[in-house]
């Protein structure tokens, strides 16, 4: 790192540091400063005229107790990623075991007890738009249109008992038995998901859950921004949602067949109905 300067002294300011390291602008270097300091490669020592002065070390400075090489840094990062992934896989195995046990699916479909809404705030649904939380306000764009996530030929296919409408017709959140199916808005067959990419399947199944919650009169959950996904990458999209995250873990671990996908669809719909019953949406009339 220090060959061009050659005197083991300081490079004042981010711009000069970026230039010496071969970056075209200081913005491209900013995200690396934390890591460079963490491995003991640079150290902030002063600030002059609004610019920070960095000491660049060929070896870690005296008293440095952090990483001493990029190898150590990446090794630690890999170990943390493995630990996080192992925890998520353990949760996915638990969810997959319930898919094989009909009695368990009836009792606790997809960790119903773990999915709790944190209250008010702006919610972002799969169908776009925003809606206010359960503590008041109006709801906008709450309904999820599955046609936006489906191919035209997929929407023309239907299997009795395997559509969102079929599942929702069996349970009325108000406590009464539904006499007829709701208006059909788009049906999804498990077979249409076989062979699709993991991202596509997770997106479709999460959208199905969101649509089923909305159809049953429930309120969609707050999505959790921040943190890291199972591969150690920053989670900037806020997609670690109480059901979407579990679906992602299950899909990544198991090559699901048509039968298993049908069971997963059933669990997703039952879970959505249970969620809607425990998280009823605030109606526009009551909010007014």
Most confident residue range from 106-115, 243-252, 271-280: 271-280
Q: Are residues 162 and 241 in the same domain?
A: yes
CA 254 to CA 272: how far, in whole Å?
Answer: 22
Final residue of a structural domain among 39, 68, 97: 68
User: Structural domain of residue 226, as residue ranges?
Assistant: 77-287
Pairing state between β 10-12 and 122-124: unpaired
Structural domain count, the chain: 2
**123 or 227, which is more confident?**
227
Pair 56, 119 in one domain? no
Claim to verify: residue 6 and residue 42 sit in the same structural domain: yes
Q: How far apart are alpha carbons 75 and 172 in whole angstroms?
A: 52
Helix 258-278 vs helix 70-100: crossing angle, to nearest 10: 90
Token pair for residue 230?
A: 């199972």
The residue ranges of DSSP E strands in 4-151, in sequence order, are 10-12, 42-48, 51-56, 122-124, 130-132
Is 270 in the same domain as 154? yes
- pLDDT, residue 280, reads 84
CATH code, 39: 1.10.10
Q: Mean pLDDT over residues 214-225, rounded?
A: 71
Is there a single domain that holds both residue 12 and residue 121? no
Q: pLDDT tens digits, residue range 251-275?
A: 766 666 767 777 778 888 888 888 8
Same structural domain for residues 175 and 103?
A: yes
pLDDT tens digits along 4-40: 445 555 555 666 667 766 777 666 666 677 777 776 7
Q: Tell me, what's the pLDDT at 203?
A: 80
Nearest to 267 by CA among 115, 48, 107: 107
- Across the chain, mean pLDDT equals 60
């Amino acid at each position: 790192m220090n060959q061009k300067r050659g005197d083991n002294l300081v490079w004042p300011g981010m711009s000069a540091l970026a230039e010496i390291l071969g970056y075209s602008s200081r913005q491209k270097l900013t995200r690396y400063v934390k890591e460079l300091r963490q491995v003991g490669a640079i150290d902030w020592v002063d600030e002059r005229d609004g610019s920070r002065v960095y000491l660049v070390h060929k070896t870690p400075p005296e008293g440095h107790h952090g990483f001493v090489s990029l190898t150590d840094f990446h090794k630690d990062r890999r170990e943390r990623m493995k630990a996080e992934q192992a925890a998520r896989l353990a949760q996915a195995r638990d969810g997959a075991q319930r898919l094989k046990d009909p009695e368990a699916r009836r009792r606790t479909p997809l960790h119903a007890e773990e999915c709790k809404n944190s209250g008010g705030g702006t919610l972002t649904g799969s169908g776009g738009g925003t809606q206010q939380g359960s503590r008041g306000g109006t709801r906008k764009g709450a309904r999820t249109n599955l046609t936006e996530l489906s191919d035209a030929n997929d929407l023309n296919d239907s299997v009795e008992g395997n559509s969102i409408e079929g599942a929702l017709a069996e349970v009325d959140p108000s406590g009464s038995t539904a006499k007829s199916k709701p208006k059909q808005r788009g049906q999804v067959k498990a077979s249409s998901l076989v062979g699709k990419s993991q991202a596509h399947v997770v997106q479709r199944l999460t959208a199905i859950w969101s649509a089923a919650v909305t159809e049953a009169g429930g309120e969609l959950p707050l999505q959790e921004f921040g943190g890291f996904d199972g591969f150690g990458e920053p989670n900037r999209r806020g997609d670690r949602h109480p059901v979407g995250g579990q679906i992602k873990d299950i899909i990544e671990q198991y090559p699901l067949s048509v039968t298993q996908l049908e069971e997963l669809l059933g669990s997703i719909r039952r879970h959505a109905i249970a969620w809607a019953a425990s998280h009823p949406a605030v109606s526009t009339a009551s909010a007014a």
